[in-house]
Amino acid sequence: MTTEVDYYELLEVERSADDATLKSAYRKLAMKYHPDKNGGCKDHEAKFKAVSEAYECLKDPQKRAAYDRFGHAAFKNGASGFGGGGHGAQDFGAFSDIFESVFGEFMGGRGGRPNLRGADLRYDMEISLEDAWHGRSSEITVDVSGVCDSCSGSGATPGTQAHACKQCNGHGKVRAQQGFFMVERTCPVCHGAGEVISDPCRDCRGEGRTDKTKTLKINIPPGVDEGTRIRLSGEGEAGARGAPSGDLYIFLHVTRHPLFERQGTSLFATAPISFTTAALGGEITLPGLDGEKHVIKIAPGTQSGREVRQRGAGMPVLQGRGRGDLVVRLEVETPTKLNARQRELLEAFRATETGEECPQTSGFFEKLKKAVAG
């Protein structure tokens, strides 16, 4: 005895599902189980036929009403061609439109031409951090397939022209009946172009494009970052036989800077300061990417690793207003070369130390004593 699966369960929808929900569910399952996508798997083929049968019934208001009332029995004994009576060709009359809408894009579309548009190209370009800050104009040289000058991209010898392919009548596709389905394939004669060139251009051999070297001007805006992509429309590979050209994408790579490190719109720098400046306070001057000199104030008692933020001294905001910040990390440098007078002064300072000058140091040793005593 054959088990009859509920149509709604097959489509994985509620019984109250509207037409849009039914169609969406069917499209999803049909794409999943279509034999062309599953290597001729018998189980998937059976599943595909089952969901197709379910949708064919439920998309028709009269058939759906009958099914909701009587179930599969509504179509037995030759009532509508479903169930034990099998499917007649008339049952799939409307299904061909659904098949076309589901697989039209996958198979190339009804009477559609293949995409002869030229390929997009990539160009990697290195710039300095200063270039990223200021922006700049630059020229690059790229080798691409350009429109053939002899035939102006037509692919035919000047004075001649292509004619419609007789095999596909200019559609670029040929159709073949396979069971209940009409399958489209690329025309084997014109290879999808829809046209046949009897006398191809000698320079491009009928392609409509030849290898060329182009020099292009690029405008790099201020604020670009690592990986920023600039698109030059129509500057990629030329399309075959006069089809539109692809695009050229410039990927920017910012070289390492000796002083600054960038994070977003912020600039980070590490600056060494003397231990006397750290203790007494003072200031240092850093040259910015903007060409200005930025004075960094240092508070008395500054510890190594402290960060000082200079508002508005960072990178420009790409295609926006304002700038990020400059963050300077201060590293206190211990002197390694002392003359006799400096050593004398430091010895005198050490003789006057009480421990309160460096609370973190004295606090650490107090904790250490307690830990050992405990």
Tell me the per-residue pLDDT of 121-148, one tens digit each, with 9 for 90 and over. Answer: 999 999 999 999 999 999 999 998 899 9
Q: Kindly report the number of other CB atoms within 10 A of residue 223's CB atom.
A: 19
Are residues 218 and 296 part of one domain? no
Sheet holding 121-127, edge to edge: 121-127, 248-254, 229-232
In a domain, 22, yes or no: yes
- Per the annotation, binding residues for Zn(2+) are 148, 151, 165, 168, 187, 190, 201, 204
How many domains, the chain?
Answer: 4
Are residues 270 and 348 part of one domain? no
- What range defines the domain where residue 351 resides? 339-374
Tell me the per-residue pLDDT of 70-104, one tens digit each, with 9 for 90 and over. Answer: 777 776 654 444 443 334 333 443 344 444 444 44
Are residues 240 and 121 part of one domain? yes
Local structure of 186: helix, strand or coil: strand
- Nearest in space to 103 (alpha carbons), one of 189, 9, 178: 178
Are residues 133 and 25 part of one domain? no
Q: Quote the CA–CA distance of 357 and 364 in Å, as a whole number.
A: 13
CATH number at residue 100: 1.10.287.110
Residue 232: per-residue pLDDT: 93
CATH number at residue 268: 2.60.260.20
**Range 310-314 average pLDDT:** 92
Are residues 331 and 241 part of one domain? no
- Per the annotation, binding residues are 148, 151, 165, 168, 187, 190, 201, 204
Are residues 250 and 282 part of one domain? no
Are residues 97 and 220 part of one domain? no
Are residues 247 and 273 part of one domain? no
Pick 265 or 35 by higher pLDDT: 265
Q: Quote the CA–CA distance of 351 and 279 in Å, as a whole number.
A: 17
Q: Which long-range contacts link 225-231 to residues 24+ away (Cβ below 8 Å)?
A: 225/132, 225/252, 225/254, 225/262, 225/264, 225/315, 225/318, 226/252, 226/253, 226/254, 226/262, 227/251, 227/252, 227/253, 228/252, 228/318
- CB contact burial 133-172 (16+ within 10 A = b; e otherwise): bbebeeeeebebbbbbebbebbbbbeeeebeebeebebbb
Are residues 28 and 137 part of one domain? no
Are residues 144 and 34 part of one domain? no
In a domain, 165, yes or no: no
**What's this model's pTM, rounded to 2 decimal places?**
0.58
In a domain, 92, yes or no: yes
In a domain, 201, yes or no: no
Work out the pLDDT band at 46, boundaries 50, 70, 90: confident
In a domain, 332, yes or no: yes
